[in-house]
Amino acid sequence: MYAKILTNTPASGDTPEIHFGDHFQYSLWIEFMDPNNEKWYGCFSSDYPVDDPQSFNNVFLDPLTHTAFVVVGGFGYLVDINNRQIKLKNEEHPLITCILQTHNPDYFITANSMCINIFNSEKWIKRIIPNLLTNNIFFTDQISTKVFGNLTAPEIDHDTPLDFELDLITFEFRINSPI
C-alpha cells in the first residue's frame, strides 16, 4: 500500500481515476495503491499552480487505517483509500504550511501561520492556538508522545524562532524559549 505525488498527469484508460474538488483550474495527481494491490489515481483540485514553489503539497499514509492525508495548495484532504472517498476536507484559511504524521498516538498534525490542527484517521480532533500572534509554525520532531517545533512571532522578533512542544496526550502546548 502506498500513496505518492505524481509529477505528470497519468495516461487515462486502464486505471480508475477519482476527481476530488469542484473546479480544476490546477490539479495535483496522487497515485494510490490500496491493501488489495489495486492502483487508482486521485486528482485533487487546487486554487494555486501545484508546481509553484509557494504551493504546499504533501501526502502522508496511515497503512493501519487505510487513510491518507493529502495537502494540495495548502488545503487538506483526509482520504479513505479503500473506498476512494474524502472523509474530510479542510479548506480553512490561512492555508496549511506544515504537516507531521505522528505515531503512538497516531495523528496527522497540520500547522498554518496561526494555529495547529490535529486529525486522526476519521476526523478533526483539536485546534491549538498559541497564546501569542504567530507568523509561522513548523514541526521538527516527535519524541515519545511529544511533538517539537518552532514558531515565529512578530511581537517578539521576526528572525528568532521560538521552540515549542506539544503533548499529544493532554494537548498541552508550551513555548520553551524565553519570551
* pLDDT score for 179: 63
pLDDT of 178 over the 80 cut: no
**49: confidence class by pLDDT, cuts 50, 70, 90:** confident
Instruction: Show me where the domains of the chain are located.
Output: 1-93, 97-179
Backbone angles phi, psi at 163, to 5 degrees: -80, 145
Place of cell 489515481: 41
- Interval 24-47 mean pLDDT: 93
Q: Which residues on adjacent β-strands are paired with residue 85?
A: 80
Question: What letter would DSSP give residue 169?
Answer: T
**160: confidence class by pLDDT, cuts 50, 70, 90:** confident
Place of cell 509553484: 52
pLDDT of 156 over the 90 cut: no
**What mean pLDDT value characterizes the chain?**
92
Q: What would the pLDDT profile of 61-100 be if each residue is shown by its tens digit?
A: 999 999 999 999 999 999 999 999 999 998 788 899 999 9
pLDDT of 165 over the 90 cut: yes
pTM: 0.92
- From residue 34, give the alpha-carbon distance in Å to each of 53, 65, 100, 117, 122: 29, 11, 22, 26, 17
Backbone angles phi, psi at 133, to 5 degrees: -65, 130
- Joined together, the cell numbers standing for residue 152 give 515565529
What is the residue type of 80?
D
CA distance 28 to 70: 10
The alpha carbon dihedral of 140, 142, 143, 147 has a sign of positive
* pLDDT score for 138: 96
pLDDT above 70: percentage of residues in the chain: 98
